[in-house]
């Protein structure tokens, strides 16, 4: 099944962003961003710190006014517009700062939010799954970080939004809570919601997302299904050893169709037309020099390696 002619994923569009620009004074935080979320699909927005992910989400939610471009939420242009009640009730968001009233009590807050929606989820069942009863009477300001996040997810889901923004939903959650969050997201998607997921957890992106957008410098630098992004990268031999090995003899020993690099100290990658001869060439070069290659692997890179290759390994 092919996608629409503009290259976006197939299925109804829950969110369509084109050429989004947002500046903070002289700094351009978002610089011509394109992205799509389909109804019943999860798009993961991946990118290094400061890449412009949160700013993009905030523009989509109407929390920041874009300087350019178009944002269509559930078919309606919202860039620069004040969201109306219909629009607000169709969109759910779990943001990093929570945005929950600090003096509210969790269960009462969820019941209140449920009343604002036409067809809310069963509050008790949702609260139970996220373990809210254990801290139902504690005010939001006294909750632990993880409890606040679980409550924020419940608050985002309670109105059955058709488009859901999740900004690092499982960062700092314990493993059991992480699994529950993933389950709830999958269920919402199964009911037809579109999800824009911002995460630094590439395992989470691979598990949940059917579409991945890698962002750097405020724009999308790669997009596709996780499997496509990985398949598009060339096969490689990777190993770690002491840093600063002289790679010139290895380059000479291998065919010209492969590239040899040390992208970070002590981490070596041989990529290109990798075949059994290349693997043998690498291991015999190591043997000749008395180098023990650690964590030697051959094959397609993981999504994490694709991400690091595209965005670089240096902190900015």
Ligand X SMILES: Nc1ncnc2c1ncn2[C@@H]1O[C@H](COP(=O)(O)OP(=O)(O)OP(=O)(O)O)[C@@H](O)[C@H]1O
Residue 103 Cβ vs ligand X, minimum distance, rounded to whole Å: 25
Among 36, 40, 53, 127, binds ligand X (CB under 6 A): 53
Closer residue to ligand X, CB minimum distance, 23 or 186: 23
Helix (H) or strand (E) holding 270: strand 267-272
Among 11, 41, 52, 66, binds ligand X (CB under 6 A): 52
Please give the radius of gyration of the chain, using alpha carbons only, rounded to the nearest integer: 23
Residue 197 Cβ vs ligand X, minimum distance, rounded to whole Å: 13
Any contact of residue 293 with ligand X (CB under 6 A)?
Answer: no
The secondary structure of 202-255 as a DSSP string is HHHHHHH-SEEEEEETTEEEEEE-HHHHHHHSPPEEEEE-STT---HHHHHHS-
Any contact of residue 24 with ligand X (CB under 6 A)?
Answer: yes
Among 27, 176, 190, 290, binds ligand X (CB under 6 A): 27
Closer residue to ligand X, CB minimum distance, 34 or 107: 34
Residues within window 54-93 making contact with ligand X, judged by CB under 6 A: 54-55
Closer residue to ligand X, CB minimum distance, 51 or 110: 51
Burial class (CB in 10 A: 0-12, 13-18, 19+), 270: buried
The secondary structure of 52-93 as a DSSP string is SHHHHHHHHTTSS--SEEEEEETTEE-TTSPP-HHHHHHEEE
Closer residue to ligand X, CB minimum distance, 211 or 219: 219
Any contact of residue 272 with ligand X (CB under 6 A)?
Answer: no
Residue 108 Cβ vs ligand X, minimum distance, rounded to whole Å: 31
Closer residue to ligand X, CB minimum distance, 27 or 314: 27
Task: Tabulate helix, strand, coil % of the chain (nearest 5).
Answer: 35, 30, 40
Any contact of residue 170 with ligand X (CB under 6 A)?
Answer: no
Are the CB atoms for 300 and 277 separated by under 8 Å? no
Residue 301 Cβ vs ligand X, minimum distance, rounded to whole Å: 22
DSSP designation for 1: -
Are the CB atoms for 304 and 238 separated by under 8 Å? no
Match 């300087």 to its residue by tokens.
Answer: 67
Any contact of residue 314 with ligand X (CB under 6 A)?
Answer: no
Any contact of residue 47 with ligand X (CB under 6 A)?
Answer: yes
Closer residue to ligand X, CB minimum distance, 49 or 103: 49
Closest alpha carbon to 55 in 223, 222, 171, 218: 218
Residues within window 99-158 making contact with ligand X, judged by CB under 6 A: none
Any contact of residue 49 with ligand X (CB under 6 A)?
Answer: yes
Any contact of residue 51 with ligand X (CB under 6 A)?
Answer: yes
Binding site for ligand X (CB under 6 A): 24, 27, 29, 47, 49-55
């Amino acid at each position: 099944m092919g996608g629409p002619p503009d290259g976006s994923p197939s299925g109804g569009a829950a969110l369509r962003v084109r050429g989004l620009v947002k500046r903070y004074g002289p700094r351009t935080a978002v610089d011509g961003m394109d992205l799509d979320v389909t109804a019943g699909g999860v798009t993961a927005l991946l990118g290094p710190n400061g890449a412009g992910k949160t700013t993009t989400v905030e523009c989509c939610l109407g929390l920041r006014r874009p300087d350019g471009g178009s944002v269509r939420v559930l078919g309606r242009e919202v860039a620069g517009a004040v969201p109306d009640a219909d629009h607000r009730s169709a969109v759910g968001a779990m943001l990093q700062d929570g945005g929950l009233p600090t003096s509210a009590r969790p269960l009462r807050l969820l019941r209140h939010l449920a009343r604002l929606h036409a067809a809310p989820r069963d509050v008790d069942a949702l609260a139970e799954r996220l373990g809210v009863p254990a801290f139902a009477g504690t005010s939001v300001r006294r909750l632990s970080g993880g409890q606040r996040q679980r409550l924020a997810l419940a608050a985002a889901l309670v109105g059955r939004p058709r488009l859901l923004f999740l900004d690092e939903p499982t960062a700092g959650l314990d493993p059991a809570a992480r699994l529950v969050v993933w389950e709830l997201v999958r269920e919402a998607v199964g009911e037809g919601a579109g999800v824009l997921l911002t995460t630094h957890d590439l395992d989470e992106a691979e598990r949940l997302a059917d579409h991945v957008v890698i962002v750097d410098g405020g724009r999308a630098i790669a997009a596709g299904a996780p499997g496509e992004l990985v398949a598009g990268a060339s096969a490689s031999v990777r190993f770690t050893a002491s840093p600063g090995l002289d790679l010139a003899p290895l380059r000479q020993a291998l065919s010209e169709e492969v590239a040899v690099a040390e992208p970070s100290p002590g981490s070596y990658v041989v990529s290109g037309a990798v075949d059994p001869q290349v693997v043998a060439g690498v291991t015999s070069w190591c043997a000749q020099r008395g180098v023990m290659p650690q964590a030697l692997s051959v094959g397609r890179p993981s999504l994490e390696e694709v991400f690091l290759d595209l965005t670089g390994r240096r902190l900015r």
